[in-house]
C-alpha cells in the first residue's frame, strides 16, 4: 500500500457514546475494539509519527494499553479530546509534526474506511485544498413541524458526506482560527465558513458511522462480506 509522507491522520474519538449506551469505540468488532479496526485499516497509508487519535483525557492510558495489545506494530499518539468535536480536531492537529502538509480527519466510529478511500479523497484535496467523500441522497426528505410534514425537500443537489475528510493542513488550521469558538459537525463546514473550497468526491461503498448499538452488527456484516470477497478474489487469481 502506498505511503504518503506529507499527510497526517487525526482520528476523532471524543464522543460521549450516549446514544450507543456506552463507549462504542471499545465495543468488539472483528475480534477487537472498534477503534482498533479503524486504526488498523487506515494506518498503512500514514507515516508512524503522523497518526494521532483524540480520546477523553481520562481514558488515554486505557486506549494506549488496548492499542498496544491488539495492534503492537501500529504506532499512534493518543491526545486529550476537546469538549466538542471541533475542539478534539484542533487538539489532534496541534499534535501533528511540522512536515505534514495535508491531513485526513476521520471519525473513529467509521470502521469501514480504508486506504483506497483515503487516497481517492486525498488526490482531490491536493488539487483543491479540501475534499470529502460524498454520496447522493436517495431517501425522500421531509421537513417536520410539530410532528407533521411541513415540506418535501428537493434532494437532487443534496449529498451525504462522511469521513475521512482531507485538507491542506495550513488552510484547515487557518479556518479554525477564523472560526474561533464556533462548533461544527464536520471540518468541511469550518472550511466553508472561512471561504475555502471543498470538493465532493463520489464514494458509493458502505462507510456507515456506528452511532446506535444496532449499527454494530451492520458494520460486522460489511466487514465479513469484504473478507469473503477478498477470499474469492484470491481463489480466482490463484486458479488463473
Q: C-alpha distances in angstroms, 143 versus 147, 148, 152?
A: 10, 8, 6
Cell of 31: 475480534
All three cell numbers of 127: 488539487
Looking only at the bridges linking them, the beta strands covering 148-153 and 7-12 are unpaired
Decide if 104 is inside a domain: yes
| 15: number of Cβ within 10 Å | 21
What total of structural domains would you count in the chain?
Answer: 1
In a domain, 49, yes or no: yes
Which triple of cell numbers denotes residue 4? 504518503
Assess whether pLDDT exceeds 90 at residue 1.
no
Q: What is the CATH number of the domain that holds 127?
A: 3.90.550.10
State which residues form the domain around 199. 7-239
pLDDT reading at 231 higher than 80: no
pLDDT in tens, 91-120: 999 999 999 999 999 999 999 999 999 999
Q: Which helix (H) or strand (E) holds 188?
A: helix 187-193
| Chain segment 28-59, per-residue pLDDT in tens | 999 999 999 999 999 999 999 999 999 999 99
Q: In the block, which residue shows the cell 411541513? A: 150
217 in a structural domain:
yes
Mean of pLDDT over the chain: 93
Q: pLDDT tier at 19 (50, 70, 90 boundaries)?
A: confident
Does residue 29 form part of some domain?
A: yes
| Confidence band, pLDDT 50/70/90 cuts, at residue 178 | very high
User: Could you tell me the three cell numbers for 183?
Assistant: 462548533
**Entry pTM:** 0.92
E strands within 119-171? 130-136, 141-145, 148-153, 159-161, 165-168
Residue 171 included in any domain: yes
Q: Provide the pLDDT for residue 150.
A: 97
- Does the residue 112 lie in any domain? yes
pLDDT at residue 61 above 90? yes
Residue 144 forms part of a structural domain: yes
Q: How many CB atoms lie within 10 A of CB 30?
A: 16
Residue 2 covered by a domain? no
Q: Can you read off the three cell numbers belonging to residue 186?
A: 464536520
Q: 55: closest CA among 40, 27, 77, 28? A: 77
pLDDT in tens, 70-82: 999 999 999 999 9
Closest CA to 191 of 163, 169, 178, 172: 172
**What percentage of residues in the chain have a pLDDT greater than 90?**
86
pLDDT above 90 (res 215): yes
Amino acid at each position: 500500500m502506498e505511503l504518503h509522507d506529507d499527510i497526517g491522520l487525526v482520528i476523532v474519538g471524543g464522543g460521549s457514546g450516549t446514544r450507543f449506551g456506552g463507549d462504542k469505540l471499545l465495543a468488539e468488532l472483528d475480534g477487537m475494539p472498534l477503534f482498533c479496526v479503524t486504526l488498523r485499516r487506515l494506518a498503512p497509508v500514514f507515516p508512524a509519527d503522523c497518526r494521532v487519535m483524540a480520546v477523553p483525557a481520562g481514558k488515554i492510558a486505557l486506549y494506549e494499553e488496548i492499542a498496544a495489545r491488539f495492534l503492537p506494530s501500529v504506532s499512534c499518539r493518543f491526545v486529550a479530546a476537546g469538549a466538542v468535536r471541533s475542539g478534539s480536531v484542533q487538539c489532534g492537529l496541534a499534535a501533528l509534526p511540522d512536515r505534514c502538509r495535508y491531513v485526513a480527519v476521520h471519525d473513529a466510529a467509521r470502521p469501514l474506511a480504508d486506504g483506497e478511500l483515503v487516497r481517492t479523497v486525498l488526490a482531490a484535496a491536493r488539487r483543491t485544498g479540501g475534499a470529502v467523500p460524498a454520496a447522493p441522497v436517495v431517501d425522500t426528505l421531509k421537513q417536520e413541524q410539530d410532528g407533521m410534514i411541513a415540506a418535501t425537500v428537493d434532494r437532487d443537489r443534496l449529498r451525504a458526506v462522511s469521513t475521512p475528510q482531507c485538507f491542506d493542513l495550513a488552510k484547515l488550521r487557518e479556518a479554525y482560527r477564523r472560526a474561533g469558538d464556533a462548533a461544527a459537525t464536520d471540518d468541511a463546514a469550518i472550511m466553508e465558513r472561512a471561504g475555502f473550497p471543498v470538493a465532493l468526491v463520489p464514494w458509493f461503498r458502505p462507510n456507515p458511522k456506528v452511532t446506535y448499538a444496532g449499527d454494530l452488527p451492520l458494520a460486522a456484516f460489511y466487514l465479513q462480506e469484504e473478507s469473503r470477497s477478498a477470499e474469492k478474489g484470491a481463489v480466482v487469481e490463484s486458479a488463473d
